[in-house]
Structure 1
Amino acid sequence: MVDVTKWPIFSLMGPEDLSSIRKACVFGSSGNEAIYITHDDEVYVFGLNCSSCLGTGDTQSTIVPKKLDILGGRKVVSLSYGSGPHILLATEDGALFAWGHNNYSQLGNGTTNQGVAPVTVSANLLNKKVTEVACGSHHSMALTDSGEVYAWGYNNCGQVGSGSTANQPTPRRVSTCLQNKVAVSIVCSQTSSLALVDNGEVYGWGYNGNGQLGLGNNGNQLTPCRLGGLQGVCVQQIVSGYAHSLALTDKGLLYAWGSNTYGQLGTSNKSNQLSPIQIMTDKERVVEVAACHSTHTSAAKTQSGQVYMWGQCRGQCVVLPHLTHFTCTDDVFACFATPSVMWRLLSTEHEDFLTVAQSLKREFDNPETADLKLCIDGKYIHVHKAVLKIRCEHFRSMFQSHWNEDMKEVIEIDQFSYSVYRSFLEFLYTDNVELPPEDAIGQTHTHTSDTSEMPVLIQCACGPSGLLDLATSYCENRLKCLCQHIIKRGITVENAFSMLSAAVRYDAEDLEEFCFKFCVNHLTEVTQTAAFWQIDGNLLKDFICRASRCGAFKN
């Protein structure tokens, strides 16, 4: 599932609101506006509200999400945004809504008045069912369920495809050589347009100064023209960046053309390409390609799930596809693109498919699938022998045929507490550790001696040990590191010296150094704690000598 908080604007929201999001889109010149749809099909907006692009009926910015009542309960199927910005939104019943910047009639309502709230775009679209929308900088397109393409708005370069350069105030069907074609997808760069038809052909029109139409020249095109450079291949996906375009074929081959100032074509140089050129030829089959007209960034996902990016990356130019650690192309735009916007209406819904890691996490302590019970402090934890053997050398040895444990259905654990051992087992299933610092380092208790009124802090000699002790005993170095992080986060004046003692006992050098520095930095307070005066004499002596060498006792 995609994490929308990777887009900075969503970090404003709390966990409860975030969990309600089903679809979302971040847009705007700086990624400062967002729209999202909840599981109940309610539409909310928040952000800067440039050109009234939030559609709230006013010009006020808001960090608190506001509901667009007019869209409530209508299932959103397509959404796009322009540079003004202006918004186009299509619903499942085929209705088309628009709002925001309208200086060039890009809202399609025949006026140039700002659209402060969503209005239905109906001119020339009556009885038409819109299935997809696309926005350029200041022009708009809509695709109907019958494969017709409509365009309107700014037309200085012919991006509306009408044969002239006059602005188009209402939707007009893009015809000429698309007249008898069935379009299946539409995209826009800043001032040009592309359409993909059902037989895999691609048509382009509008501005072509950087070769973004892929026609082999750099002259503007006032009506749709087929991309001859893609003849002989069947394209199944097209996307456009600010001034470049990408096409993915049904064989998983990827083509790029247009502007290459930032390396966004992925050709290893910065030369523009007037015709489509195949890229990523040394990689496996590509299954998805991504770009949006607000950025100079490109991304692609391969058959095995690897995600590559190239082009503008936080101010740098990446001229060849670079393998990322992401699992979806959306994250490329969240983390690398400028501005940090979304290239499509993003779905956050869970897929039915679970990864191996997610499946393992779900099966931890599941009595229905477990084949072994571990009993600690009279409580049971249900586990799977195979998982334990795969993840831990200790269990791999334990479940040998000559060990008694290999035949048991229940194994008693008495040297560790329930919370500590459960955290250890959960770590084997999830790679994560969640427990308090006290449990990480081992339980302690205080008592008062017969000869002194001062409370004495004593490490339990025969009682439960901490997770750090377990990790050391089982030679689990990764777990040992995680325990040390937990302990560092939980260090206080009261427990610092006992933590230092434990770090020495478990030979955790990094933790020992951290605890030592903490004790020195808070020396006066630490020396007044019970732990400081009742700790092992040799350790106390070593600490005083070491602290003295650091100048801790100088006036």
Structure 2
Amino acid sequence: MEDESPPSQGVSTKVLEATLLSALKMLDVGKWPIFSLCSQEELKLIRQACVFGSAGNEVLYATENDEVFVLGMNCSGCLGTGDMQSTIEPRRLDSLCGKKIACLSYGSGPHVVLATEEGEVYTWGHNAYSQLGNGTTNHGFIPCQVSTNLVNKKVIEVACGSHHSMVLTSDGEVYTWGYNNSGQVGSGSTANQPIPRRVTSCLQNKIVVNIACGQMCSMAVVENGEVYVWGYNGNGQLGLGSSGNQPTPCRIAALQGIRVQRVACGYAHTLVLTDEGQIYAWGANSYGQLEPDDHLTVAQSLKKEFDNPETADLKFLVDGKYIHVHKVLLKIRCEHFRSILSNDDEIIEMSEFSYPVYRAFLEYLYTDNIRLPPEDAIGLLDLATLYGENRLKKLCQQTIKQGICEENAIALLSAAVKYEAQDLEEFCFRFCINHLTVVTQTQGFAEMDHDLLKNFISKASRVGAFRN
């Protein structure tokens, strides 16, 4: 790849651009090394966290009362604290407190682009190429709102290249700004763009539903599943069958007839996920990121596994660690993706969930179905809640309802209360009332949580369960 960029590492293979969201339960952030700097009291208050930086050594997080704090290294002022001082103690960002954070992206320049649930956009960090969108080339040490050309626009998604930025609005419009040596802002020229401008050309009358940036290229998925690309193409990362740069959006003809749902970009390669659960990849392949497991695609390998439950457990190698792959795969930078291994006896780290739960979740993402007993469906319900998979939550509740019996009714009721599954809670409660004599003699009832028992008895009394 020719070095057409300013001095930079580009989009690092270790960038952790994951946004961990959970409105229904406390986040388990303890596995991120950066959070070892926080006290247990501080960790308990975290509702939302964004880990970023070249080695996952910077974090922005929001608490239950929408206060925003940052912690860690402070590369080029990317903590937004007004200075370049790193911090091992959480520092409050007053300019973002009270703002509900919707999404965040990190460019390796480095700079940060953030959108709130209200659709406002804030940027800070390195700005030598106007990637902050404020019309200047002055570095930004605190989050500042980007309003030019975005007034009355609600931004729902953000993406960063190494030195350019892109946002998607709720009405399906794309705006870009920043470094443009290879046409990555899609304006038709190679002049840098100091403020947000809408990307038009063949996107003029299209509704965009998803965006992504590589180091010096940009991608957009429109509502009919077509993918449009522009910018640097020296490694074929645009998927156009050539290596020439593209200054305006161009549809990927090779995906004709394939309906794409999401696109993700690495430093110099691209992945897309189709509505049939297939993944297509193209671009640079210096780390084997395009050809896992003897040239099988991810979707093919998954189908092979799911069609034959007797095969060895499926294992995924990501940056040297064996993990289970789910939708976060498309949110984390593609450079994490290395290969898929079969028939390997390495132990997979299960975290707090069992292997059947993780496997069922992965199978659901590629088949829209689940196959597991009601007891495991409880754990899957937890995972579905964590990742906001509402349809999966409904499937879990159906599985639990079909498998309820006197012996497990209390355990299922407890799970429904814990995961705020109100419909399931009412179903389990009614089952317990209808089988009250047997249920009250089970081990589960004897070991019932005190508060849950108290509420159960109170509610049962109100419906006349203890009347003669």
**TM-score relative to the length of structure 1:** 0.55
* Structure 2 equivalent of residue 72 of structure 1: 97
Q: Where in structure 2 are the equivalents of 1:200-349 lying within 5 Å?
A: 200-268=225-293, 279-284=298-303, 301=325, 318-320=338-340, 325=349
* Structure 2 equivalent of residue 479 of structure 1: none
CA separation of 1:363 and 1:296: change in aligned 2, threshold 3 A = closer
Q: Does 1:102 align with 2:127?
A: yes
CA contact (8 A) 1:214 1:257 kept: yes
* Structure 1 equivalent of residue 442 of structure 2: 384
CA contact (8 A) 1:284 1:302 kept: no
Q: CA deviation at 1:299?
A: 8.5
Q: Does 1:33 align with 2:58?
A: yes
* Structure 1 equivalent of residue 189 of structure 2: 164
CA contact (8 A) 1:97 1:119 kept: yes
Residue 205 (structure 2) aligned to one of 151, 173, 180? 180
CA contact (8 A) 2:128 2:139 kept: yes
Q: Deviations over 1:252-311 (max 9, x none)?
A: 2221111121122244469xxxxxx9543142399xxxxxxxx999998469x999x998
* Structure 1 equivalent of residue 139 of structure 2: 114
Q: Which amino acid aligns with 1:319?
A: S
CA separation of 1:127 and 1:311: change in aligned 2, threshold 3 A = closer
* Structure 1 equivalent of residue 34 of structure 2: 9
CA contact (8 A) 1:136 1:191 kept: yes
* Structure 1 equivalent of residue 168 of structure 2: 143
Residue 22 (structure 1) aligned to one of 18, 32, 47? 47
Q: Where in structure 2 are the equivalents of 1:522-541 lying within 5 Å?
A: none
In structure 2, what is the Cα distance between the partners aligned to 1:297 and 1:265? 18
CA contact (8 A) 2:323 2:349 kept: no
**Structure 2 gap ranges (5+):** 1-24, 306-318, 351-356, 360-384, 401-407, 418-428, 450-468
* Structure 1 equivalent of residue 353 of structure 2: none
Q: Which amino acid aligns with 1:280?
A: A
Q: Deviations over 1:158-187 (max 9, x none)?
A: 111111222111111111111111111111
Q: CA deviation at 1:328?
A: 7.1
In structure 2, what is the Cα distance between the partners aligned to 1:172 and 1:104? 15
Q: Where in structure 2 are the equivalents of 1:363-442 lying within 5 Å?
A: 363=414, 384-385=442-443
In structure 2, what is the Cα distance between the partners aligned to 1:24 and 1:285? 35
SS at match of 1:238: strand
Q: Which amino acid aligns with 1:89?
A: L
Q: Which amino acid aligns with 1:102?
A: N
CA separation of 1:279 and 1:55: change in aligned 2, threshold 3 A = same
Q: Deviations over 1:433-453 (max 9, x none)?
A: xxxxxxxxxxxxxxxxxxxxx
SS at match of 1:9: helix
Q: CA deviation at 1:61?
A: 1.0
CA separation of 1:169 and 1:302: change in aligned 2, threshold 3 A = closer
Residue 217 (structure 2) aligned to one of 181, 188, 192? 192
SS at match of 2:35: helix
Q: Which amino acid aligns with 2:302?
A: K
* Structure 1 equivalent of residue 5 of structure 2: none
Q: CA deviation at 1:38?
A: 1.7
Q: CA deviation at 1:107?
A: 0.2
SS at match of 1:71: coil
Q: Deviations over 1:109-142 (max 9, x none)?
A: 1111110111111122222221211111111001
In structure 1, what is the Cα distance between the partners aligned to 2:74 and 2:31? 21
CA contact (8 A) 1:263 1:320 kept: no
* Structure 2 equivalent of residue 535 of structure 1: none
CA separation of 1:297 and 1:189: change in aligned 2, threshold 3 A = farther
In structure 2, what is the Cα distance between the partners aligned to 1:90 and 1:218? 33
In structure 2, what is the Cα distance between the partners aligned to 1:285 and 1:135? 35
Q: Does 1:90 align with 2:148?
A: no
In structure 2, what is the Cα distance between the partners aligned to 1:262 and 1:251? 27
In structure 2, what is the Cα distance between the partners aligned to 1:179 and 1:127? 19
Q: Which amino acid aligns with 2:156?
A: T
Q: Which amino acid aligns with 2:123?
A: A
Q: CA deviation at 1:204?
A: 0.7
CA contact (8 A) 2:130 2:194 kept: yes
Which of structures 1 and 2 has the bigger CA Rg? 1
Q: Which amino acid aligns with 1:60?
A: Q
Q: Deviations over 1:439-493 (max 9, x none)?
A: xxxxxxxxxxxxxxxxxxxxxxxxxxxxxxxxxxxxxxxxxxxxxxxxxxxxxxx
CA contact (8 A) 1:189 1:242 kept: yes
Q: CA deviation at 1:14?
A: 2.0
Q: Which amino acid aligns with 2:166?
A: M
Q: Relative contact order: is structure 1 or structure 2 higher (C-alpha 8 Å, sep ≥ 6)? A: 2
In structure 1, what is the Cα distance between the partners aligned to 2:284 and 2:294? 11
CA contact (8 A) 2:271 2:334 kept: no
CA contact (8 A) 2:266 2:335 kept: no
Q: CA deviation at 1:247?
A: 1.1
SS at match of 1:225: strand
Root-mean-square deviation (CA), in Å? Answer: 4.3
CA separation of 1:136 and 1:298: change in aligned 2, threshold 3 A = farther
SS at match of 1:162: coil
Q: Which amino acid aligns with 1:235?
A: V
SS at match of 2:109: coil
In structure 1, what is the Cα distance between the partners aligned to 2:54 and 2:303? 34
Q: Which amino acid aligns with 2:113?
A: L
Q: Deviations over 1:342-373 (max 9, x none)?
A: xxxxx96888858989x849859x9x869999
In structure 2, what is the Cα distance between the partners aligned to 1:68 and 1:240? 30
SS at match of 1:261: coil
